[in-house]
Amino acid sequence: MEADMTMEIKDNTFARQFETLADQGLVSVEYSFQEKKIFLTKINTPESFDDEEFISTFLKNIMGIAIERKFKVVPILPKIVVFFKKNSVYKELLPPGIRL
């Protein structure tokens, strides 16, 4: 379950977001934690940024972090729900009772 490409991701715990740099600037995914679950709540991108492949790779890398830390992932944002539907290999990260 390796991500397509290695990307440097910073877990900015103060801002509660994962961050990485794209050519256009900072891309981040905001999160909140609750009982070993990480709720992915928002994706922030530079204006006019529309590289869906980059976002998908970023999310795959975040799933890798969740696996490492043994977290369950709760996708709040519709875009992240779509990511889970397209990448069924990560469905094991969903908490019991969450159906997409």
List the domain boundaries for the chain: 9-93
Mean pLDDT of 80-90: 95
Question: How many alpha carbons fall within 13 Å on the CB side of residue 18?
Answer: 24
Distance CA 58, CA 52 (A): 10
pLDDT band at 49 (very low <50, low <70, confident <90, very high): very high
Q: Specify the CATH class of 9-93 in words.
A: alpha beta
Q: Please check whether residue 93 is in contact with residue 67, taking contact to mean a CB–CB distance below 8 angstroms.
A: yes
pTM: 0.90
Mean pLDDT of 81-92: 95
Distance CA 28, CA 47 (A): 13
